[in-house]
Structure 1
Amino acid sequence: MNKTDVNAKKQLPSKEDRHKLFGSVDPGPRTKPVEKDDMADLQNSKKDFLFDLDAVGITNVKHPIRIHSTKKPEIQTTIGTFRFSSSIGKGSKGTNMSRFTEQLDKYHNEGFAIDIYTLKKFTKELAERLKQQDASVEVTFPWFFERKGPFSDLTGMNHADATMNVTYHEELGYDIDVSLKGTITTLCPCSKEISEYSAHNQRGQVTMSVKLTDDFDEQEMDWKEALLEASESNASARIHPVLKRPDEKAVTEQAYENPRFVEDIVRLVAADLYEMPFVQSFYVACQNEESIHLHDAIAEINYDKTTE
């Protein structure tokens, strides 16, 4: 092959002709209005549409957010996954979906810091924007926190999945639910009891969901840290991002000294949540990735302190 052949270029049709080759067609006649005020608004139709709807909105909305933490890093930027909704009566066909994202963009431009005070303000304004009695916002995000090795004090970043759910109703006020899913180490009490030496252990996922009392003050207590401590302090051992040999020895021995079934975990975490004055009701679940089985072990509990 000579140099002329190597440098030869294929003669392609124009980009417009290429698009037509793959199915594009010229625009057809335009007969419908182009101005918003002249367009039909089906969502605002008013008739008897048979049923009230408990929730209408949008979900799986990913957006950058800022959060505050009492653990380092104290201010962090992360990604929130949002769900926005409101109820509508049977006299309305639907809601105006764009108003949810308009509200989100408004708060983003003001620096969207995710905290309970801001979400309460957000939901009240959202209900007014939608011209509805109520509105809800749920946001889930990874929360990062610094963790030191127990012996070396070498630091690294751990994370837990946090969720905040705030509902506003113009007559009933606010409902505030928060949840946290953290990872722990558990060591099997049965394995330790029956074995001559050693015991199998595994990672466990602890999920805690709590309804906060009306007087909860986020300035006095970081709910994320409180729930994290409830799960980790009752585990066989904590999870660490950085472990040198002396750290690994300490964590291994701590786990051996504190064996826990999943049943033990949920009861111990429940006891801590029960003693927290700002917790009105709670749900606790633990799921262990069993190291000697293909299945996982689970336990869970619901408790409402207001029914006592």
Structure 2
Amino acid sequence: MNQAELNKTKQLPPKEDRHKLFGSVDPGPRTKPIEKEKMADLQNSKKDFLFNIDMVGISNVKHPITIPSQLTPEIQTTIGTFSFGSSIAQGSKGTNMSRFTEQLDKYHHEGFAIDIETLKSFTAELASRLKQEDAEVEVSFPWFFERKGPYSQLAGMNHADATIQVKYDQNTGYDVTVSLTGKITTLCPCSKEISEYSAHNQRGNVTMEVKLTEDFDEQKMDWKAALLEAAESNASARIHPVLKRPDEKMVTEQAYENPRFVEDIVRLVAADLYEYDFVEAFTVQCRNEESIHLHDAVATLSYDKKQELL
């Protein structure tokens, strides 16, 4: 029996009747206006609504974005996860949520490259669109970079997780925070010290959250590459997507020669961030996925250069 004959063995009701079978009903009377200017705008109601709201907006908005990079590939397309918001005064009921995605779509059609200057313009324009004194945007994305094996020079793609947060206030200006989580190799100093041979190692996750100085120039410095270097250059060894046997020998020997506790990692990375002129304040965390324990090892360090001036 062919497919046409099989289709004729069961007689189904028309699609409209099938929908009614599962609960669909005929449209009711339409009495409210369909023109926007005639519709009630509850969010723009003005009364005493008891409290100011620190931030209201939308989050978990996924959208294609373009990322500039000083490492290969220099231009890359990836997926950004956005959050948008603004404060609401006690005298206003709420915000118009559609204006956040309207703003995103506008920038998308203009070619939305995710750099700090573009995001500054975005937040100032968003505040104006919302008729508020402030606005903020946060976007997180995977950032890819080419990594070659130390001996073979065979290349592959690594990635780190990056975030940019820009806050705008018409009275105080911009506040820019960036963060990067990169993966490293760490070899346990205690294991190396007490063992007759070998030492356990593990993958470490270094997260750096950095407040940038007001004069930071992204044209001169790629903050992503700088933070990645701070994490990787202080590790026992770097992570590689492609390793041939000569590469693996070099990487494992390097790790053995540079044992690191999580405490060592956060202090060494902090020293590099401290020396970066474009960093005003920072928090560093290292989380090791322990290879001979079921738990992770974690260390965190925070520092604010401005406190030195007090």
What's the TM-score once normalised by structure 1's chain length?
A: 0.98
Local SS of the residue matching 1:114: coil
For residue 8 of structure 1, report the CA deviation from its aligned partner.
4.3
Q: What does residue 16 of structure 1 align with? A: 16
Distance in 2 of aligned mates of 1:4 and 1:123 = 58
Pairing 1:104–2:104 present: yes
Query: Could you report, residue by residue, the CA deviation over 1:61-91 in whole angstroms, capped at 9, with x for unpaired residues?
Result: 0000001001000000000000000111000
Q: How does 1:158-169 map to 2 (within 5 A)?
A: 158-169=158-169
Could you say if the C-alpha distance between residues 35 and 248 of structure 1 is closer, same or farther in structure 2, counting changes exceeding 3 Å? Answer: same
1:252-303: per-residue Cα shift (whole Å, max 9, x none)?
0000000000000000000000000110000000000000000000000110
Do the aligned partners of residues 196 and 307 (structure 1) sit closer, same or farther apart at CA in structure 2, a change above 3 Å counting? same
Q: Equivalent residue of 2:79, what SS?
A: strand
Q: Is there any run of 5+ residues in structure 1 with no aligned partner, and where?
A: none
1:118-160 per-position Cα deviation (integer Å, ceiling 9, x unaligned): 0011111111111111110000000000000010000000000
Give distance in 2, aligned partners of 1:141 and 1:245: 33
Residue of structure 2 in register with 1:88 after alignment: 88
Change in Cα spacing, 1:287 to 1:3, as seen in structure 2 (3 Å) is closer
Aligned to 1:129: 129
Helix, strand or coil at the partner of 1:203: strand
Pairwise CA distance, 1:9: 2.5
User: Does residue 37 of the first structure (1) align with residue 37 of the second (2)?
Assistant: yes
**Superposition deviation, residue 2 in structure 1:** 11
What's the CA shift for 1:33?
A: 1.4
1:241 is displaced (CA, Å) by 0.1
Q: Which residue of 2 aligns with 1:55?
A: 55
Equivalents in 2 of 1:111, 1:5: separation in Å?
53
Per the TM alignment, residue 27 of structure 1 is displaced from its structure 2 partner at its CA by: 1.1
- Residue 202 (structure 2) pairs with residue 202 (structure 1): yes
Runs in 1 of length 4+ with deviation above 2 angstroms? Answer: 1-9
Opposite residue 234 of structure 1, the aligned amino acid is: N
Q: How far apart in 1 are the matches of 2:90 and 2:73? A: 47
| Compared CA separation, residues 186 and 11, structure 1 to 2 (3 A) | same
CA distance in 1, matches of 2:124, 2:8: 66
Residue 138 of structure 2 is aligned to residue 138 of structure 1: yes
Whole-angstrom distance in 2 between the partners of 1:6 and 1:121: 61
Is residue 228 of structure 2 the alignment partner of residue 228 of structure 1? yes
- Taking structure 1 as reference, are residues 4 and 166 closer, same or farther at Cα in structure 2, changes over 3 Å only? closer
Partner Cα distance (1:49, 1:257) in 2: 63
What is the percent sequence identity of the aligned residues?
79
3-state DSSP of counterpart to 2:102: helix
**Whole-angstrom CA distance in 2 between matches of 1:9 and 1:95:** 56
Q: How many equivalent pairs are there?
A: 308
Q: Deviations over 1:73-112 (max 9, x none)?
A: 0000000000000111000000011111111000000000
Q: 1:285 to 1:28 in 2, by over 3 A?
A: same
Q: TM-score, normalised by structure 2?
A: 0.97
Deviation of 1:202 after TM superposition, in Å, equals: 0.2
Measure the CA separation in 2 of the matches of 1:82 and 1:280.
Answer: 24
Structure 2 CA distance for aligned equivalents of residues 34 and 292 of structure 1: 65
Q: CA deviation at 1:28?
A: 1.4
Segments of structure 2 that go 5 or more residues without pairing to the other structure are none
Q: Which moved more, 1:45-54 or 1:2-11?
A: 2-11
Aligned CA distance change for structure 1 residues 187 and 27 (closer, same or farther; 3 Å): same
In structure 2, how many angstroms separate the alpha carbons of the residues matched to 1:61 and 1:70?
A: 27
Partner of residue 79, structure 2: 79
Q: How many Å separate the matches in 1 of 2:19 and 2:130? A: 42
Q: Distance in 1 between matches of 2:129 and 2:179?
A: 28
* Structure 1 CA distance for aligned equivalents of residues 6 and 169 of structure 2: 72
Partner of 1:306: 306
Q: Call closer, same or farther: CA 1:35–1:194 in 2, change over 3 Å.
A: same
Aligned partner letter, 1:129: R
Distance 1:123 1:179 in 2: 19
AA aligned to 2:258 is N
Alpha-carbon offset, residue 7 of structure 1: 7.0
CA shift, 1:195, in A, is: 0.1
